[in-house]
Structure formats: structure tokens, C-alpha cells
Chains A and B, each alone.
Chain A
């Protein structure tokens, strides 16, 4: 079975959880901030991603907190999730280095 690459949305959600647990809307806000407003997760997309990451063992529920009479569920990265995020970040950084080099941006920045 072919391995599947991580989607952009999954990458942003994992990144949003990298510095601590967050609840659903907290993740939406953090992803919007991280992406400079380019990625605005709708509820169907968010829970599609959370469901998949949870099934793959990359995130897990952290705790539930009552807020204005509603229960907020917080999610956190698992050890596998941390590893997967680090690996993906490294891959993206390596790709970005190649792109910058091919566009001549690295030389310009150095110069």
C-alpha cells in the first residue's frame, strides 16, 4: 500500500498543537495565524483532519473543559505526532532550501 504524503491542512493542525494542547476553535484560530490568514479551516475540514490524525495516532484528546456551559475538548500531539511533524518540517525546509537556491534567493539574501 502506498504511503500518503501529509496534507497542508494536517501539517498546519499538527503545528498548531506543537506548543501545547488546543481545542477545536483554538486550532482554527492558530492555523489562520500560522498561515497568515491563507488557511481558514471550515468545521467539516477541521474535524475531517482531526479524525484522521486521531485514527493515525498522531494526536489524542488531552482533557475536556466546561466553557459557557459547553464542553471543550483539547487535543495534543502524541510522540508519533511529534516525530511525524518534525520529519515533515525537515522535508519542507529542505524543499524550501532547494527552491531558494534555484531561484537565486539564497545568494541575494547572503549578498
Chain B
């Protein structure tokens, strides 16, 4: 057992700008434009190319994104779904985010479990909450919800029963009349 101060050899860490340049170099036209937001590298990926992109990010020794942070879905209603995957490179000290827009009406995309085994549970949760299918997932069953639950709760079209009866009364600040404000 030992106590080590600090975390990484500083010679291995890479600045986000340099890392973003490396990402564009290695991935080329597999991804869209990269941008840096709040010190993190973000890029847009097409759904069919996602496993390939993630595999390169993980296995390339310069990029070395070995840490799977999370995968989630966003329901943009008319504009379709969007899946967000965030990876982290511990040795380089950079967080990489991938945004995967799905066309309206499209509800399936390839699974990442072949590359990152940790994506298993995240994809199961996205599947039951949004109704998205992940192709080649080993076990796409319900994770959180009871077996007899009907519907996909995180869709914007799924209204909470209690809220239809008592909607959000709007932002009430002290001194404002009750029930006023924006709904």
C-alpha cells in the first residue's frame, strides 16, 4: 500500500487544443467538426460510424480514451433523438464528448458494447426510457422499470399524471402573486 501525491505524469497530459487536433487527424472524415467547450473536446458523429469512432478513440495510443463515462439520449421531439457519449482519457487528462443525432423517426443505432463493456447498462437504460434500440446489444431488457410498465417515460410526449392535474405554477419569487409567472 502506498500513498502517491498528485495523479498523472505531467509529461503525458495534453492540452485540449492539441488533443482536438490529434482527434481530427486520426479520425478524419469519420466525425464532423470538433469544437472545444469548457475545456472538453466535442464532435458530432453519424450513427453508423459510432462504434468505429469509439474504437479508434479507445485503442489509439495517442488518444487513449479508456474510461467510459456515460451514454444518454435526448428527445428533441420533432428533430428526432440525439445520443450523447462521453469518454475520458485519464492519461491525457481530456474529456471527449460525441453527439450522435438521429434523424426524425429513426430509433435505432449500433451498440457500443463490443468496444466498451460498460456501455451495457447505459444502453439498457436509454432503451427503456426512450424506446431506442441498440443493435447487437447482448441483453436489451428492462433495467429500472417494472416488467409491466407501459410506455417510455423520458419521452416528452409521456406526461406525468400528477402534473396534468396540477401543472407547474411557474417561477414564483417571494413577493409575487401566487399562480403568476411563466408556466
Q: Say if A and B assemble together.
A: no
- Write the residues of chain B forming the contact surface with A, with a CB cutoff of 8 angstroms: none
Interface residues of A (CB under 8 A from B): none
